A and B are shown apart, each in its own frame.
Chain A
Amino acid sequence: MSNIGSYEARLKEFDWSLAKNELGYRDEDLINIGWYCSDRICLSGNSEKTALYYEGFGGIKKQYTFNDIRLASNTIGSFLKNTGLTNEDRVCLFMDRIPELYFSFLGILKIGAIVQPLFSAFGEESLYVRLEDAQTRAIITQRKYLTRIRKIHYKLPHLEYIIIIDHDKTKPLEKNEIPFSLEKMPQIEEMNIFPTRSESPSVLHYTSGTTGQPKGVLHVHYSLISQYLTAKWVLDLRDDDIYWCTADPGWVTGTSYGIIGPWSMGITQCVLDAGFSAQTWYKFIENNKVSMWYSSPTAIRSLMKAGDDIVRNFNLSSLRHLASVGEPLNSEAVIWAESVFGKPFHDTFWQTETGSIMISNFPGMKIKPGSMGKPFPGITGVVLDQKSFEPLNEPGKAGLIAFKPGWPAMMRSYWNNPIKYNEKFVNGWYLTGDKASIDNDGYFWFIGRDDDVINTGGHLVSPFEVESALLEHPAVAESAVVAKPDDVNMEVVKAFVTLKPGYAPGPDMELDIMNFIRKKLSSLAMPQEIEFMDRIPKTRSGKIMRRMLHAKEWGEEIGDISTLEND
């Protein structure tokens, strides 16, 4: 019997107080995610229960109990406080998926500061933009990333502390760099946890949009309420589970469901810090006896590509429940999982802005392969008419996915950007920016984005950000970026460029531009293909006709070209 039991029954009687009661939280109480994910679990008698199995590259294995993570987060939190950090300061985590990243996440929350996890593959420009916007005061990192940080430090006046968790004593430190070693610090048994309340800011994740710079999505400690309950009802996490969330904590999945959801429930989880290979992943599941696996459609399609034969080399009988996140899960992947693992992946839909799962296929509920599922109990989800912003009642009709505001993990702001934040709410609804239809049975069916944001491997990439970076390449005169279909990643970035006089198109130039973007922004943003053109199609008013380029890539009708600039 699943934790959620009957979905229909839950719908009738739902109230968020159910989660609050289980967590022992009453409105107006103090609430701190760091405390809930470590101290509370210890106080409930589970201090010796394993919280984390860590495996790094080269087979390095470490294991930590909930008491270990309580002490480690206390130690890091106390160190940060003694260094000079205080509540609401932004502290960035820029590390591989190592244990210190997870402990630091909790430690930062325990001092009431705002944790800003960033994907460690971000290049210097992507890193700079996000640190500058948040006026980040400290960054916790590894020495391998110092080169990148040192290149941008001079233009970040607010960045006072660069904390290096694996500093090499033989190398000199530069300005504002501070070494920190968890092993060498005396453990802090008791710590005064900052008295955060429900609306106290907690986590700041950055997400990309079509235009403008990436936006800082601010969450609060109260998000715990829906992150806890969705982990329990959607991921169906149970006391004896070994849980594996494959997402990096640089992204919201890796924090909401890679830290907060499971640890607030006292669940044992495992983390693999290594590049992808089907062999490595299956071995990890076998060795750790993973029972609940939360992954991404891109990873699932990569596993499909690796073939079925390899699966037979491993004992994956421990797997009990599977779910996916990041992009729509195609029906072939659902069916494939059922055939090789004996059970399907359950697609889940949510966003950085929503903080927790909003639409899902639930344990025990019939899965329609390719469908997003149904709204989580307590979430009112609709599709809106694109002109009137009124809910559509006609099954099968496409509209904008929208939710009634007010669920616990709803973002509270875009950092320093109230205009953009207010634009997300229209006619009393929160707009996701995605489109879907709802069938006769109430299942949602994803159609696509309502804007030009590229979803590659489950990560959003802004075409504007890539175009801007392309224009900084010395050879590029004009650029346009669109999504190109991809079997594994769903979409990848494709760039169209014109070159300045004196520069020649060709594979060498293509490679040079690719590497330029990869280092400046990230490998996700790197165009997987560059097409050189004599001119980028524009309207007579000079606006790039991205939709023409997009239609060409997707084999769609180009549509009205009456405004196209003539030759």
Chain B
Amino acid sequence: MEEMKDIVLKYVIKEYIEDEEAEVNCDTPLISSGYVDSFSMVSLLVFLERKFNIKIPPSKATPEAFDSVNKIVALVNQYIK
């Protein structure tokens, strides 16, 4: 679980956080803060599905479910076989 969080957090920081001074951790709101907008969510979804070899139903890939690394990992864990 911790390794998964680390993977997701590193990816989010690399791909979506341009502000070098931003302090982002696993609880930092990503969508509601504006770091990741709704249009960018699709690329994050593709990353998660590919990285963890899962399929997340579109109805579950909501802004609320993606709003922090912890929430993302909780969602991913629901679909890992």
Chain A residues engaging chain B, CB cutoff 8 angstroms: 57-58, 96, 121, 143-145, 147-148, 168, 273-277, 280, 302, 305, 456-457, 492, 507-508, 510-511, 514-515, 518, 522-524, 526, 528-529
Report whether A275 and B33 are in contact in the complex, using a CB–CB cutoff of 8 Å: yes
Report whether B40 and A276 are in contact in the complex, using a CB–CB cutoff of 8 Å: no
Contact partner, A274, options B19, B32, B40, Cβ 8 Å? B32
Report whether B21 and A168 are in contact in the complex, using a CB–CB cutoff of 8 Å: yes
> Which A-chain residue is minimally distant from B18 (CB atoms)?
A147
Is the CB of B7 closer than 8 A to any CB of chain A?
Answer: no
Contacts of B47 in A (CB 8 A): 511
What separation, in Å, do the CA atoms of A501 and B39 have in the docked complex? 30
Report whether B50 and A57 are in contact in the complex, using a CB–CB cutoff of 8 Å: no
> Which A-chain residue is minimally distant from B20 (CB atoms)?
A147
Given contacts A57-B32, A507-B50, is CB(A277)–CB(B42) below 8 Å? no
Report whether A277 and B64 are in contact in the complex, using a CB–CB cutoff of 8 Å: yes
> Which A-chain residue is minimally distant from B64 (CB atoms)?
A277
Chain B residues engaging chain A, CB cutoff 8 angstroms: 15, 18-22, 29, 31-40, 42-43, 46-47, 49-50, 62-64, 67
24 A/B residue pairs, CB under 8 Å, sorted by A: A57-B29, A96-B34, A144-B18, A144-B21, A145-B18, A168-B21, A273-B34, A275-B32, A275-B34, A275-B35, A275-B37, A276-B31, A276-B38, A277-B32, A305-B62, A456-B39, A492-B39, A507-B49, A507-B50, A508-B50, A523-B37, A526-B42, A528-B42, A529-B42
Contact partner, B42, options A121, A507, A514, Cβ 8 Å? A514
The 7 closest A-B pairs by CB, nearest first: A144-B19, A523-B39, A507-B50, A275-B34, A523-B40, A514-B43, A275-B32
What separation, in Å, do the CA atoms of A457 and B37 have in the docked complex? 12
> Which A-chain residue is minimally distant from B19 (CB atoms)?
A144
Report whether A511 and B50 are in contact in the complex, using a CB–CB cutoff of 8 Å: yes
B62 smallest CB distance to A (angstroms):
8
Given contacts A515-B43, A526-B43, is CB(A280)–CB(B32) below 8 Å? yes
B64 smallest CB distance to A (angstroms):
7
B12 smallest CB distance to A (angstroms):
12
Contacts of B35 in A (CB 8 A): 275
What separation, in Å, do the CA atoms of A508 and B32 have in the docked complex? 27
Contacts of B49 in A (CB 8 A): 507
A454 smallest CB distance to B (angstroms):
12
What separation, in Å, do the CA atoms of A357 and B50 have in the docked complex? 45
Given contacts A147-B20, A523-B40, is CB(A510)–CB(B31) below 8 Å? no
Report whether B42 and A510 are in contact in the complex, using a CB–CB cutoff of 8 Å: no
Contacts of A148 in B (CB 8 A): 18
What separation, in Å, do the CA atoms of A274 and B29 have in the docked complex? 10
Contacts of A492 in B (CB 8 A): 39
What separation, in Å, do the CA atoms of A148 and B49 have in the docked complex? 29
A341 smallest CB distance to B (angstroms):
21
Report whether B38 and A57 are in contact in the complex, using a CB–CB cutoff of 8 Å: no
Report whether B31 and A524 are in contact in the complex, using a CB–CB cutoff of 8 Å: no
What separation, in Å, do the CA atoms of A193 and B64 have in the docked complex? 47
Report whether A511 and B32 are in contact in the complex, using a CB–CB cutoff of 8 Å: no
Report whether A507 and B63 are in contact in the complex, using a CB–CB cutoff of 8 Å: no
Contact partner, A277, options B19, B21, B39, B67, Cβ 8 Å? B67
Contacts of A305 in B (CB 8 A): 62
> Which A-chain residue is minimally distant from B39 (CB atoms)?
A523
A324 smallest CB distance to B (angstroms):
17
Contacts of A121 in B (CB 8 A): 37
Given contacts A121-B37, A275-B33, is CB(A144)–CB(B42) below 8 Å? no
Report whether B43 and A518 are in contact in the complex, using a CB–CB cutoff of 8 Å: yes
Report whether B15 and A515 are in contact in the complex, using a CB–CB cutoff of 8 Å: yes
Report whether B63 and A277 are in contact in the complex, using a CB–CB cutoff of 8 Å: yes
9 new A-B pairs (CB below 8 Å) besides A143-B21, A275-B38, A514-B46? A275-B35, A277-B31, A280-B32, A511-B50, A515-B43, A518-B39, A518-B43, A523-B37, A526-B43
Contacts of A96 in B (CB 8 A): 34
> Which A-chain residue is minimally distant from B53 (CB atoms)?
A507
Contacts of A276 in B (CB 8 A): 31-32, 37-38, 63
What separation, in Å, do the CA atoms of A510 and B50 have in the docked complex? 10
